[in-house]
Amino acid sequence: MVEARDPLVEARKQLRRAIDLLGYPDYIYEVLAEPERVIQVKIPVKTSDGVKVFIGWRSQHNSALGPYKGGVRYHPNVTMNEVIALSMWMTWKNSLAGLPYGGGKGGVRVNPKMLTPRELEELSRRYFEAISDFVGVDLDIPAPDVYTDPQVMAWYFDEYSRIKRGIYPGVVTGKPPELGGLKARIVATGYGVAVAVREAARRLLGGLEGKTVAVQGFGNVGYYTAKYLAEMGAKVVAVSDSRGGIYLPEGLDPDEVLAVKRREGSVIHYPKAKKKVSPMEVLELDVDILVPAAIEGVITEENAGRIKARLIAEGANGPTTTEAERILTERGIIVLPDILVNAGGVIMSHIEWVNNRMGGWITDEEALRKLESKMSENVRYVLSYWEKKLEVDKHPVRDAAYMIAVERVVNAMKLRGWI
């Protein structure tokens, strides 16, 4: 069994590497290794078994570039260190995306599947009430994450508006369209991944047309990634979910696979598949492009030597370990890092936030065009920086992404007189 990793230790290692590559003094690392603020709250909820007490956090890592921005997750294994690490990663993701945001993240240690709808609403409202003095349209803007959704954001928005005696739709993003959200938000992350892959393939693989793709994870991100890549001319030959995977050399129809998954409960029931494979075997198929879009830590030192794809695009957060990336780099396999590839969600959140502040100014079609333009620009810039500033056979693209992101934050801190 793989020993659980402390995500904060990993986040600080990545920061340390970027600081060293940029040649910054140690005090820069010390300033950025800790969050500006962490709020811990107690959340009592009345249940059929009596009152249960849950613990929640909101970590606000850095605000040099703008208000804190990042989601809130509900999970039974959430820890304060995890929330702090995620807020640090959001600082880099927002910076790299060129957004006027700092990094924030929230979490509540709870299994939401064990709560009734009424209990889930009470938990959500009490959590947001507890952090209401620390969030705001120009201060900290939460959003959905693991096991939270537009309905939870609607409760947050309503509770905050009740407490502050006003209507503040911009206090959260990822809301239902009826409350100022954008329908395009549901496709944003997967669409962003597809755009990133297309841009990288044009530069590194001679184009996307006809290139074979395997997608591990067929949830929201994985499905929309597969759907849009297929529409862009790629051949999606394999996908998987938690119950297994399927492989069809001639190419799968993502919409047909989704229909089967919804009807039968898993992609493994897709009748046209030539063979079934495990989710881990999907990673090792002979394809041009691999998109790990499920969970963290799936590409490790143990299986990195068997990866055959020429390009890996991290749709999930942290799917590749540091040791695995070193092996992949030595083998000439290019990894597009998560903070670049899966930024479509937060970019769309920024569009929603601006739309709320301006009273409604954009259609969903326009929002997707803006997302495509921003993702394309960011991928081209990061790859150009990587090729011009680093030895590409020795440095993964992640080094370039982190150097750009950290440098932007440090420059903002210097301009504001913080350091």
* Residue 75 belongs to domain with CATH number: 3.40.50.10860
Percent of the chain with pLDDT over 70: 99
Candidates 365, 345, 367; CA nearest to 356 is: 367
Residues 237-258 have a mean pLDDT of 91
Q: CA-CA distance, 281 to 279, in Å (whole number)?
A: 6
The answer to whether residue 354 is domain-embedded is no
Count Cβ neighbours within 10 Å for each residue of 38-64 and write b for 16 or more, e otherwise. ebebebebeeeeeeeebebbbbbbbbb
Residue 195 shares a structural domain with residue 329:
yes
Residue range 151-161: mean pLDDT, rounded: 97
What is the per-residue pLDDT for 1? 36
The verdict on 198 and 328 lying in the same domain is yes
One domain for residues 39 and 74: yes
Edge-to-edge strands, sheet with 212-216: 275-277, 244-247, 235-241, 212-216, 289-292, 311-313, 334-336
**Whether residue 159 is found in the same domain as residue 191:** no
Assign residue 263 the CATH number of its domain: 3.40.50.720
How far apart CA 397 and CA 285 sit, in angstroms, is 22
| Residues 73, 146 within the same domain | yes
Distances (CA, A) of 345 to 19, 145, 182, 312, 320: 27, 10, 11, 19, 20
pLDDT at 3 > cutoff 60:
no
Domain boundary among 149, 173, 197: 173
Give the confidence band of 165 by pLDDT, cuts at 50, 70, 90.
very high
Residue 4 has pLDDT above 70, yes or no: no
Residue ranges making up the domain that contains 327: 186-336
Of 286, 304, 336, the residue at which a domain comes to its end is 336
- Residues 334-384 have pLDDT tens digits of 999 999 999 999 999 999 999 999 887 888 899 999 999 999 999 999 999
Is 29 a domain residue? no
Statement to judge: residues 60 and 196 lie in one domain: no
Per the domain annotation, does 179 fall within a domain? no
One domain for residues 197 and 85: no
Which domain-ending residue is among 336, 371, 395? 336
Q: Say how far apart CA 102 and CA 68 lie, in whole Å.
A: 4
CA 71 – CA 92 distance, rounded (Å): 14
Segment 324-331 mean pLDDT: 92
At 80, phi and psi to the nearest 5? -65, -40
- Record the pTM: 0.91
Name the pLDDT band for 295 (thresholds 50, 70, 90): confident
Tell me the C-alpha to C-alpha distance, in Å, between residue 10 and each of 7, 324, 341, 392. Answer: 5, 14, 19, 23
- Residue 191 clears pLDDT 90, i.e. is over it: yes
In a domain? residue 381 = no
Q: Are residues 237 and 145 in the same domain?
A: no
Classify residue 310: in a domain, yes or no. Answer: yes
Query: Is residue 214 over pLDDT 90?
Result: yes
Q: Tell me the torsion sign for CA atoms 411, 417, 418, 419.
A: positive
Greater confidence, 280 or 57? Answer: 57
DSSP category for residue 134: G
In this structure, the answer to whether residues 332 and 190 fall within a common structural domain is: yes
Measured CA to CA in angstroms, residue 409 lies from 64, 74, 403 at distances of: 6, 29, 10
Query: 6 lies in a domain?
Result: no
Q: Is 105 tagged catalytic?
A: yes
Together in a domain, 223 and 321 = yes
Residue 222 CA neighbour count, 13 Å, CB half? 27
Number of folded domains that form the chain: 2
Same domain, 41 and 164: yes
The span from the CA of 212 to the CA of 296, in Å, is: 23
105 and 71, same structural domain?
Answer: yes
Residue 357: what residue type?
A: R
pLDDT value, residue 2: 43
Spatial separation of the C-alpha atoms in residues 70 and 90, rounded to whole Å: 6
Catalytic residue among 105, 211, 227, 235: 105
Q: Is residue 64 part of a domain?
A: yes
The token duo for 295 is 């969970």
